[in-house]
Structure 1
Amino acid sequence: MIYFEQAGRLGNQMFRYASARAMQVARGGKESIVAGMTNYEAHQYKDGFVDELVNFNIADFKRVNQPIVSFYPLRNKIIYRLLIQIPKLRQQPWRSFEANWAKTFNKVGIQFTHDGYYDFSIPKTKNVFMDGNFQDIKYFNGIKDILFKEFTPKRPEKEENEELYKAIRSTNSVCISIRRGDFLSSEFKGDFFVCGKDYFLKSMDEIKKHVENPTFIFFSDDIDWVRQNIKVDVPCCYESGSDPVWEKLRLMYSCKHFIISNSSFSWWAQYLGRYPDKVVISPDHWYNNKDINATCKMIQPEFIKIPCPYHE
């Protein structure tokens, strides 16, 4: 079996599922996938911390209300306790710990990676246990065609968005994803608030150099702020801000080009974009924390990168 620990909102859920699905395919495609879902109880199923994959055409997998570590064989549990639970090692920065021990865990069928990429071999163990964000295209890009089909919403396009879909499909549409919300909170701003107003203004000027007669399609968790603060001189449309997340993602990936924020959700929108000659603009770093940023693999070489200040 392939076990993976599910966590986060839709963008992070997609990274974790995609990597587990790719592992399943790499091991022959016949094993069952099992997801540990306890993360959502901890968040009380609020603020988007719910199982959003139920709304997509993904392969069937079993959901269990217990952490995947509870399924480890005895040998793995002993190794896990020795390496994870010794207080001296727990005081070590997680990324250093991960770099030192990730491949050792891989030999016994455990893969974890919270940032960056490890060139794991395919475990020959009976089961594989995957825990981490797996935020690198290398983990799953080999099954891109499968993911394009599976990350399509089960439900049809909402009728109230008919005109917006028409604008997206009939123009050189540019999806502009403006993440605000919790990125502005005291808890997360220090690490995550990278894309300020100036970034989007510069990105819109830049994309005009690459896309003829663009139409800007704005998406945001604070669409009123966008209407009031982002002024443009080209045709534009605004997603309502009230669509369910599965519909919002489809609207976004239906666009031809992308200006993304440093969020996993907007990353997936550009990845799932069907237009073969898409232009993607991103910030030049993903986190304000330079140590985390050093191992981050979210910004692809082909992206056009706009310099952003490191905010405190």
Structure 2
Amino acid sequence: MITTRIIGGLGNQMFQYAAGRALALRNRDSLAIDRQAFADYNVHAYALDFFVLEVPDAPAGLAVPLGADSRWTRLLPWRRPVRHVVEKGLRFDPAVASQSGNVYLDGYWQSERYFADFADALRRDFQFRHAPSPANAEFVKRAAADNTVSIHIRRGDYVSNPNALAVHGTCSPAYYEKAIATLMEECGSDMVGFVFSDDHAWTRENIRLPIEMVHVEGNAADKAYEDMRIMAACRHHVIANSTFSWWGAWLDPRPDARVIAPARWFADPGMDATDLIPARWNRLQVELGHSAVTC
């Protein structure tokens, strides 16, 4: 059995599920999830039940206790060992993707290389369980029209929390201006941008783009998946340094979709996210601003 630990926001949970699901499929094995960390985690809620995927919780006696650091943890009722695989860094680790037997994955696994060979199966798993509300259904319909682009502007704790700002930074207006200019050259000037943000007031004041901009508002944090559904319906994508919009772009299966991502994912120069952006996406380089920004 493959067990994957689930924690963090929706995007991180999807990476953790995807790595575990792909490893289970690679081994023709079953997958279980360990979500016990949410018992005392108040930042985000477990969110994978927004998708049609069906995955059981790790059975009692199987999940590795929080804080376990041994390579082998004997917890199965019949005393077979569980290999506790802890993420060593941000780069793709091929040894993780080749594990077999009873494996407990403990990390974020933020690289498509952990699951690209099962992309079709994962996109089926990540279909949304419930139909959109009427307002969101209208956004989806409009987003699915020709020459639309999702634009994600992540602020929130990236701005309000000094530690998060130092690690992540925020994408500058110059990044979005250059991204849209690049897309207009490739795809035409009649583009319509669907703007997703946790700070629409700031976005309206500071992000001025030479295209029509539709601000997607009204979905509370517990309905964030609705924004992701609309993102994925757009024809092209300009993502922030956020796993949420990473997945909004990745769920779009069209091979000719243009995705623009920041060349730097973290403001912290010690964090190497080289393997996070798929090679087929456009990594956009722009100069850093005076505040802590990543792109």
TM-score bin (small chain): 0.7 to 0.9
Consecutive aligned runs of 4 or more in structure 1 exceeding 6 Å deviation: 64-67
Cα deviation for residue 261 of structure 1 reads 0.4
Matched residue, 2:165: 189
Please tell me whether the aligned partners of residues 57 and 154 of structure 1 are also in contact (alpha carbons under 8 angstroms).
yes
Cα-to-partner distance string for 1:68-98 (whole Å, 9 max, x where unaligned): 32398x98149xxxxxxxxxxxxxxxxxxxx
Q: Any residues of structure 2 matched to 1:132-151 within 5 Å, and which?
A: 132-151=107-126
Q: For the structure 1 residues 168 and 110, does the alpha-carbon distance in structure 2 shift closer, same or farther, using more than 3 Å as the test?
A: same
Is the partner of 1:28 in helix, strand or coil? Answer: coil
3-state SS of the aligned residue for 1:68? coil
How far off its partner does 1:51 sit?
0.8
1:299 and 2:277 are equivalent in the alignment = yes
Please, which of 230, 233, 238 is the counterpart of residue 259 of structure 1?
Answer: 238
Query: Residues 214-265 of structure 1: CA distance to partner in whole angstroms, max 9, x if unpaired?
Result: 1111011112221222223322211114251121111111111000001111
1:45-194 matches, within 5 Å, as 47=43, 49-62=44-57, 68-70=63-65, 76-77=72-73, 109-113=83-87, 114-120=89-95, 122-125=98-101, 127-184=102-159, 185-194=161-170
What is the match of residue 27 of structure 1?
27
TM-superposed CA distance for 1:211, in Å, is: 1.4
Q: How does 1:1-40 map to 2 (within 5 A)?
A: 1-29=1-29, 31=30, 33-40=31-38
Question: Compared with structure 1, are the counterparts of its residues 209 and 40 closer, same or farther at alpha carbon in structure 2 (3 Å cutoff)?
Answer: same
Q: Deviations over 1:117-147 (max 9, x none)?
A: 111263343x111010111111111111111
Contact 2:71/2:84, CA 8 A, preserved across alignment: no
Aligned to 2:177: 201
CA distance in 2, matches of 1:161, 1:241: 9
CA RMSD of aligned residues (A): 2.6
Matches of 1:56 and 1:117, distance apart in 2: 26
Look up the match of 1:82: none
Following the alignment from structure 1 to structure 2, what is the Cα–Cα distance between the partners of residues 9 and 24? 23
Deviation (angstroms), 1:24: 1.0
State the shift of 1:64 in Å: 6.6
Q: Which runs of 5+ in 1 are unaligned?
A: 79-106
SS in 1 for 2:65: helix
Cα distance in 2 for residues equivalent to 1:65 and 1:290: 41
**Percent of residue pairs bearing the same amino acid type:** 26
Q: Is the 1:3–1:34 contact (alpha carbons within 8 Å) kept by the matching residues of 2?
A: yes
Match in the other structure for 1:236: 213
Structure 2 equivalent of residue 218 of structure 1: 195
Return the TM-score normalized by structure 1.
0.81
**Deviation of the 1:43 alpha carbon:** 2.1
* Whole-angstrom CA distance in 2 between matches of 1:67 and 1:196: 45
Q: CA deviation at 1:59?
A: 2.5
Alignment of 1:41 with 2:39, yes or no, is: yes
Residue 59 of structure 1 aligns with an amino acid whose one-letter code is: E
TM-score (structure 2 length as normaliser): 0.85
Partner of 2:77: none
**In structure 1, C-alpha distance between the alignment counterparts of 2:122 and 2:216, rounded to whole Å:** 25
User: Does the 8 Å CA contact 1:2/1:129 hold for their aligned counterparts?
Assistant: yes
- After superposition, the Cα gap between the structure-2 partners of 1:75 and 1:279, relative to the gap in structure 1 and judged at 3 Å, is closer
Taking a change above 3 Å as real, the CA distance of residues 234 and 43 of structure 1, as seen in their structure-2 partners, is same
Instruction: Report which stretch shifted further, 223-232 or 250-259.
Output: 223-232
Letter in 2 for 1:10: L
**Number of positions where the alignment pairs a residue of Structure 1 with one of Structure 2:** 277
Which AA in structure 1 matches 2:63?
A: I
Q: C-alpha deviations, 1:33-83, integer Å up to 9, x for none?
A: 232223322323xx4x111001111132215799932398x98149xxxxx
**In 2, Cα distance between the equivalents of 1:26 and 1:180?**
37
**Please, which moves more after superposition, 224-233 or 250-259?**
224-233
Contact 1:178 1:219 in 2 (8 A): yes
